[in-house]
């Protein structure tokens, strides 16, 4: 057998396998771009050796066989595919071929050809058949002539009309379009799958395919699928004579069509459209892999006809692929500010959508385990928008036959010692609470226990400490912090306050003036607000919002330092885990030393005060009893106990008869209560919390007061894009003053998004989720409505 013949067989086998995975299993193991390359290699070899072409070659058919579990549907009008353009010149060639086909002379003296322009959605093609205006069948494309009957599944897609609206629709109307999943829908689905231990999808296309082709249509119904119509198949009746005219008619009958549909005259206008959509690609709510141009006039389409399985009147102009293949060279571990030791993939550099990628995030060891990564693997890398590239999956077919020893050597292991300071690396524990008992389970994060003795953590901690939103020490960049640490001048944040002119002026990039400026900035930072100071400490899981909350609710550093985890859980959004992080941060001797030194060096906290009345009101005895999670005691039982006994001590002192006298408290609840408090550890723990709350200045008697309602209380706002009249920081302050929470990301719970010019993915997500969006003018009007001056 010749080399060419051998390679052809190999390519066919490989392509068949990928086809099956892609079309039948919905589990492709290589990116489309790689598939295309293999396909083109085969096509070229067959072109050079026409005697080797066989009817079963993947080049001779499109797609793959239908799953036997779904019924078969024959497409009376075949579902075709599209030719591809990658370069501008490919599109110009297409336009030239169209003009030649239509006998239009070169040059635009006789007018340009009109094209419809649409995004090429990255989902899967389906056919929807309407008879007398009713949806009677849905089918996948399959191999183009036979697809699968997915009627029950398409009926679950919310934007597929079950009945056409209005009138004038053809008696038989087959609508074609793409079923896809929006980026937000995909992320939400994956988050849900992760939580429930289900399958996580590599990208929105796979998620859409895997969701639509479910034998159980209840699963399909629970997935955020959408439909967008881009054409027609079999029709009995009248329709307009242009493609865009047809889409508009369909829209009138209730069919979703693309909002980006446009008419372009000539190739140049098509290229303008391509560039415009390309620029907005990342801010669209859904993924697209190109744009599609179609000759608008149906008369011209008929004149041009088809070539093999592609229309001569349409072409897909592709964007650079977001996924590529490369080799995993190594997995290294980085140490972050809080000591988290996280795996990072070092990759053989590969260009993904125009950017060279040589590192990718691996998140944590659970992710590494999920991927089943081994060093030397061929991996799929994905770059979506501006986010850090990700390793999506391992191409297991490309894994060489490693021996068990080699596999062991190539598997990814967490280092036992920190790569920076050599301290032990430990797995974090998560706190679980059930039936009133706390237990610990293993978390997915590993931490270096070296804290500020670890150079990496010290540098990151200081960079965070001096940052604008923390202590705001201007003039101390990352490079200077590294030098200060490396030269041993700074071993803790407190050392910043002991720096001298001589020490600083010796550093790279510091002259007399800049040194004095830095010393002045350090001096200026000595009086931070309590919230800034707490944030600057860099407690794991405590961002700016939580720091503000702690400061506002507890009012003093002393209270925050002492607060028991249970007391902290009275703060909104602080769960037991974060509460434990905060508590153990302040319980740590080393951290206590650093805080002590900072105070000794003259840090003077501002805005310290009393316990916030809202916080005091939230800590009712009934609420506290409910929090203890005692079996059979829910909110109403807890209220009755609180009313009768008035304190934890009161409950502990009560005897069995007293408890039985509590109105409508069942015997088993009373028994469970006694059992709980008869355990001395439980009793002591509950008393400690009660005592602490009392020390903090609150009384159980203070039942939840109706708070003076701030107008935006309970609402979450998001600011995005640039604001012109006021800065985002100012806007945030104003919103917070009205009681709103200001968040960094949009979710279904977001009340309102304020979007200025340049808003991107957050705006797209808001639109996608149907969240209210205001521009700056409308926002200012809202503020004015509440009497807020600018
Ligand atoms: S037109 C004869 N328009 O791309 C025309 N296809 O490579 C057939 N697609 O199977 C398709 N968006 O799944 C057309 N606006 C669009 C499209 C589109 C996505 C997909 C479709 C088709 C594939 C063709």
CATH number at residue 781: 3.40.50.10190
Tokens representing 585 are 């941060």
- Residue 130, domain member (yes or no): yes
Domain boundary residue, one of 318, 348, 372? 318
- For the chain, the residue count is 790
Cβ(604)–Cβ(694) below 8 Å = no
Mean pLDDT of 398-408: 95
Q: Longest C-alpha distance within the chain, in Å?
A: 103
- Active-site residues: which are they? 120
Atom of ligand 1 nearest to the CA of 316: 7
Q: Which of 82, 77, 224, 202 is nearest to 139 (CA)?
A: 77
pLDDT value of position 436: 61
- Of 290, 318, 346, which closes a domain? 318
Same domain, 500 and 565: no
End position of a domain, from candidates 525, 541, 571 = 525
User: Does the annotation list 34 as a binding residue?
Assistant: yes
Q: Among the listed ranges 62-71, 157-166, 698-707, which one has the minimum average pLDDT value?
A: 698-707
Asked if residue 228 belongs to a known ligand binding site, the reply is no
Domain annotation covers residue 196: yes
CA 15 / ligand 1 centre spacing (Å): 21
**Cα atoms found within 13 Å of the Cα of residue 715, Cβ hemisphere only:** 19
- What pLDDT shows up at residue 742? 85
- What Cα–Cα distance (Å) separates residue 364 from each residue in 381, 446, 466, 559, 642? 17, 8, 28, 34, 44
* Atom number in ligand 1 closest to CA 310: 2
Mutate to test the pocket of ligand 1, among 81, 295, 309 (most ligand atoms within 8 A of CB): 81
Region 415-431 average pLDDT: 90
- Report CA(317)–ligand 1 centroid distance (Å): 11
Q: Stretch 531-551: mean pLDDT, rounded?
A: 93
Q: Which residue has the higher pLDDT, 617 or 533?
A: 533
Q: Give the model's pLDDT for residue 64.
A: 34
Which atom of ligand 1 is the closest one to the Cα of 258? 15
165 with 232, same domain?
Answer: yes
pLDDT value at position 790? 64
Q: Does residue 350 lie within any of the structural domains?
A: no
The average pLDDT across 267-276 equals 96
Q: Give the distance (Å) from ligand 1 centre to CA of residue 622.
A: 61
DSSP E strand stretches across 207-295: 225-236, 262-265, 288-295
Tell me what the mean pLDDT of segment 230-258 comes to.
Answer: 94
**Dist. CA 121 → ligand 1 center (Å):** 8
Note down the domain range covering 682: 532-696
pLDDT > 80? residue 20: no
- Is 81 one of the annotated binding-site residues? yes
491 lies in the same domain as 634:
no
Give the per-residue pLDDT at 26.
57
Average pLDDT over residues 79-106: 92
Nearest CA to ligand 1 atom 24: 81
8: pLDDT strictly greater than 50? yes
Same domain, yes or no: 668 and 538: yes
Residue nearest atom 6 in ligand 1 by C-alpha distance: 120
Kindly report the CA angle at 497 between 491 and 503, in degrees rounded to 5? 70
- Residue to mutate (ligand 1; options 23, 79, 80, 82; most atoms within 8 A of CB): 82
d(CA 566, CA 618): 13
294 is in an annotated binding site: yes
Provide the whole-model pTM. 0.62
Whether residue 454 is annotated as binding a ligand: the answer is yes
- Residue 403's pLDDT is what? 96
Q: Dump pLDDT digits (tens) for 380-393.
A: 999 876 668 989 99
Assign 572 a pLDDT band (cuts: 50, 70, 90): confident
pLDDT recorded at residue 706: 33
Q: Is the pLDDT of residue 259 over 80?
A: yes
The ligand 1 atom nearest the CA atom of 141: 10
Task: For residues 158-182, give the mean pLDDT.
Answer: 92
What is the predicted pLDDT for the residue at 320? 85
On whether both 612 and 582 belong to a single domain, the answer is yes
Domain identity same for 130 and 53: no
758, pLDDT greater than 90: no
- 759 Cα: distance to centroid of ligand 1 (angstroms): 29
pLDDT at residue 437 in the model:
67
Is 125 one of the annotated binding-site residues? no
Residue bearing the CA closest to ligand 1, atom 2? 80
Lowest-confidence segment of 277-291, 328-342, 353-367, 704-718 by average pLDDT? 704-718
Could you tell me what percent of the chain has a pLDDT over 70?
94
Residues near ligand 1 (Cβ within 6 A): 80-82, 118, 120-121, 125, 141, 178, 230-231, 292, 311, 314, 316
Q: How many angstroms separate the CA atoms of 132 and 723, rounded?
A: 51
**When comparing pLDDT for 748 and 139, which is higher?**
139
The answer to whether the CB of 629 falls within 8 A of the CB of 434 is yes
Q: What average pLDDT does the chain have?
A: 88
Query: Do 519 and 544 lie in a common domain?
Result: no
**CA 6–ligand 1 middle distance (angstroms):** 34
Q: Ligand 1 centroid vs 274 CA: distance in angstroms?
A: 16
pLDDT > 80? residue 783: yes
Measured in Å, residue 81 CA sits from the centre of ligand 1 at: 7
Nearest-CA residue for ligand 1 atom 11 is: 81
pLDDT value at residue 724: 81
- 206, 123 Cβ separation under 8 angstroms: no
What is the count of structural domains for the chain?
5
Say whether pLDDT at 280 is over 90.
yes
Q: Is residue 447 part of a domain?
A: no
User: Among 81-95, 221-235, 451-465, 712-726, where is mean pLDDT lowest?
Assistant: 712-726
Distance 660 CA to ligand 1 centre (A): 72
- Where residue 31 sits, what CATH number does that domain have? 1.10.287.610
Q: What is the pLDDT of residue 125?
A: 96
pLDDT at residue number 66:
39
Residue 225, C-beta contacts closer than 8 angstroms, at least 6 positions apart:
156, 157, 158, 179, 180, 181, 185, 208, 211, 212
Q: Is 311 helix (H, G, I), strand (E, B) or coil?
A: strand
Q: Are residues 655 and 604 in the same domain?
A: yes
Look at residue 705 in the predicted model and tell me its pLDDT. Answer: 36
The CATH number assigned to the domain holding 139 equals 3.30.470.30
432 within a domain of the structure (yes/no)? no
How far apart are the CA of 207 and the centre of ligand 1, in A?
18
Tell me the CA–centroid distance for residue 689 and ligand 1, in Å. Answer: 64
Q: What number does the ligand 1 atom closest to the CA of 311 have?
A: 2
Task: Return the bridge partners of 173, or none.
Answer: 130, 235
Choose which residue among 86, 125, 127, 307 to substitute to test ligand 1 binding: the one with the highest number of ligand atoms within 8 A of its C-beta. Answer: 125
Question: Binding site annotation covers 32?
Answer: yes
Q: Which CATH number belongs to the domain containing residue 660 in this structure?
A: 1.10.150.20
Is pLDDT at 23 greater than 60 in this prediction?
A: no
- pLDDT above 90 as % of the chain: 54
* pLDDT confidence band for 658 (50 / 70 / 90): confident
Assess whether pLDDT exceeds 80 at residue 87: yes
Contacts of 637 by beta carbon, 8 Å cutoff, 6+ apart:
665, 669
Residue 41 and residue 187 in one domain: no
Distance from the alpha carbon of residue 120 to the mean position of ligand 1, in angstroms = 6
> With the CA atoms of 720, 725, 730 and 732 taken in that order, what torsion angle do they form, in degrees rounded to the nearest 10?
-30
Out of 63, 127, 176, 231, give the residue to mutate to test ligand 1, the one with the largest number of ligand atoms within 8 Å of its CB: 231
Predicted confidence band of residue 709 (pLDDT cuts 50, 70, 90): low
Among 104-108, 375-379, 422-426, 719-723, name the one with the lowest average pLDDT: 104-108
Q: Whose CA is nearest to atom 9 of ligand 1?
A: 120
> Does 146 reside within a domain?
yes
Beta bridge partners of 334: 342
Nearest CA-CA partner of 596 in 494, 470, 495, 527:
494
Which residue's CA lies nearest to atom 21 of ligand 1? 125
**pLDDT value of position 704:** 37
- Assess whether pLDDT exceeds 80 at residue 707: no
Q: Is there a domain that residue 100 lies in?
A: yes
The reply to whether 509 and 543 lie within a common domain is: no
Contact at 8 Å (CB) between 165 and 252?
A: yes
Please report the atom of ligand 1 found closest to the CA of residue 123.
13
Closest CA to ligand 1's atom 18: 120
CA distance 278 to 269: 14
Q: Please identify, by atom number, the ligand 1 atom nearest to the C-alpha of residue 118.
A: 15
Position 396 in a domain: no
**pLDDT score, position 564:** 93
Q: Does 192 lie in the same domain as 128?
A: yes
pLDDT tens digits, one per residue of 294-329: 999 999 999 999 987 899 999 999 998 889 999 999
Pocket residue to mutate for ligand 1, from 316, 317, 319, most atoms within 8 A of Cβ: 316
What is the structure's pLDDT at 462? 95
771 and 749 within one domain: yes
532 labelled ligand-binding: no
Pocket test for ligand 1, best of 22, 141, 178 (most atoms within 8 A of CB): 178
CA dist., res. 470 & res. 465, Å (int): 6
């Amino acid at each position: 057998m010749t080399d060419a013949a051998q390679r052809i067989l190999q390519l066919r086998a490989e392509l068949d396998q990928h086809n099956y995975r892609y079309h039948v299993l919905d589990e492709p193991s290589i990116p489309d771009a790689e598939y295309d390359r293999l396909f083109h290699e085969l096509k070229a070899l067959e072109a050079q050796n026409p005697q080797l072409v066989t009817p079963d070659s993947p080049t001779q058919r499109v797609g793959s066989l239908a799953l036997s579990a779904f019924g078969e549907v024959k497409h009376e009008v075949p579902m075709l595919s599209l030719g591809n353009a990658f370069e501008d010149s490919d599109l110009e060639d297409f336009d030239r071929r169209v003009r030649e086909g239509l006998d239009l002379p070169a040059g635009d003296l006789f007018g340009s050809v009109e094209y419809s322009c649409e995004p090429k959605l990255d989902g899967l093609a389906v056919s929807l058949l309407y008879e007398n205006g009713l949806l009677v069948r849905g089918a996948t494309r399959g191999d183009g002539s036979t697809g699968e009957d997915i009627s029950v599944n398409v009926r679950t897609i919310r934007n597929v009309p079950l009945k056409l609206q209005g009138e004038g629709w053809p008696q038989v109307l087959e609508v074609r379009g793409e079923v896809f999943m929006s980026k937000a829908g995909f992320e939400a689905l994956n988050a849900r799958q992760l939580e429930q231990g289900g399958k996580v999808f590599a990208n929105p296309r796979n998620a859409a395919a895997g969701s639509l082709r479910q034998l159980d249509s209840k699963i399909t119904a629970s997935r955020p699928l959408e439909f967008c119509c881009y054409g027609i198949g079999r029709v009995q009746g009248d329709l307009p004579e242009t493609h865009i005219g047809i889409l508009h008619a369909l829209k009138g009958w209730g069919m979703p069509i693309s909002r980006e549909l446009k008419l372009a005259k000539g190739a140049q206008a098509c290229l303008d459209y391509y560039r415009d959509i390309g620029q907005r690609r990342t801010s669209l709510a859904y993924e697209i892999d190109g744009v599609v141009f179609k000759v608008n006039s149906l008369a011209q389409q008929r004149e041009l006809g088809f070539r093999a399985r592609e229309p001569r009147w349409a072409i897909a102009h592709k964007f650079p692929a977001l996924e590529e293949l490369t080799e995993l060279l190594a997995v290294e571990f980085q140490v972050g500010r809080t000591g988290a030791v996280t795996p990072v993939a070092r990759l053989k550099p590969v260009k993904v959508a125009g950017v060279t990628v040589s590192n990718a995030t691996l998140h944590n060891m659970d992710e590494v385990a999920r991927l089943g990564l081994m060093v030397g693997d061929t991996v799929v890398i994905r770059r979506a928008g501006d986010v850090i590239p990700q390793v999506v999956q391992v191409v297991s077919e490309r894994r060489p036959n490693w021996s068990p020893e080699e596999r062991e050597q190539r598997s990814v292991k967490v280092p036992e010692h920190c790569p920076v300071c050599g301290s032990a690396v430990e797995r974090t524990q998560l706190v679980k609470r059930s039936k009133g008992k706390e237990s610990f389970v293993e978390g997915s994060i590993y931490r270096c226990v070296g804290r500020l003795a670890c150079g990496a953590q010290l540098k990151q901690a200081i960079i965070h400490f001096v940052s604008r939103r923390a202590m705001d020490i201007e003039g101390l960049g990352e490079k200077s912090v590294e030098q200060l640490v490396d030269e041993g001048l700074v071993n803790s944040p407190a050392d910043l306050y002991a720096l001298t002119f001589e020490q600083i002026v010796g550093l790279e990039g510091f002259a007399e003036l800049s040194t004095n400026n830095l010393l002045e900035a350090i001096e200026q930072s000595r009086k931070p607000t309590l919230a800034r100071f707490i944030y600057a400490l860099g407690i794991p899981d405590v961002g700016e919002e939580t720091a503000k909350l702690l400061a506002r609710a507890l009012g003093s550093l002393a209270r925050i330092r002492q607060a028991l985890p249970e007391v902290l859980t009275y703060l909104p959004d602080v769960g037991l885990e974060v509460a434990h992080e905060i508590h153990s941060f302040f319980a740590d001797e080393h951290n206590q030393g650093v805080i002590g030194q900072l105070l000794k060096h003259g840090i003077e906290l501002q805005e310290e005060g009393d316990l916030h009345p809202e916080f005091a009101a939230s800590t009712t005895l009934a609420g506290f009893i409910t929090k203890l999670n005692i079996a059979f005691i829910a909110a109403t039982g807890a209220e009755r106990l609180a009313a009768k006994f008035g304190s934890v001590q009161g409950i502990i002192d009560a005897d069995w008869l007293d408890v039985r006298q509590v109105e409508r408290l069942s015997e088993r609840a009373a028994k469970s209560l006694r059992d709980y408090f008869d355990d001395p550890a439980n009793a002591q723990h509950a008393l400690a919390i009660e005592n602490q709350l009392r020390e903090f200045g609150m009384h159980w008697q203070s039942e939840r007061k109706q708070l003076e309602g701030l107008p935006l209380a309970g609402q979450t706002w998001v600011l995005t894009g640039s604001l012109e009249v006021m800065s985002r920081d100012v806007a945030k302050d104003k919103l917070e003053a009205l009681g709103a929470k200001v968040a960094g990301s949009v979710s279904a719970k977001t009340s309102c998004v304020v979007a200025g010019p340049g808003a991107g993915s957050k705006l797209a997500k808001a639109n996608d989720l149907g969240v209210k969006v205001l521009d700056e003018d409308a926002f200012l009007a809202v503020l004015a409505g509440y009497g807020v001056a600018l």
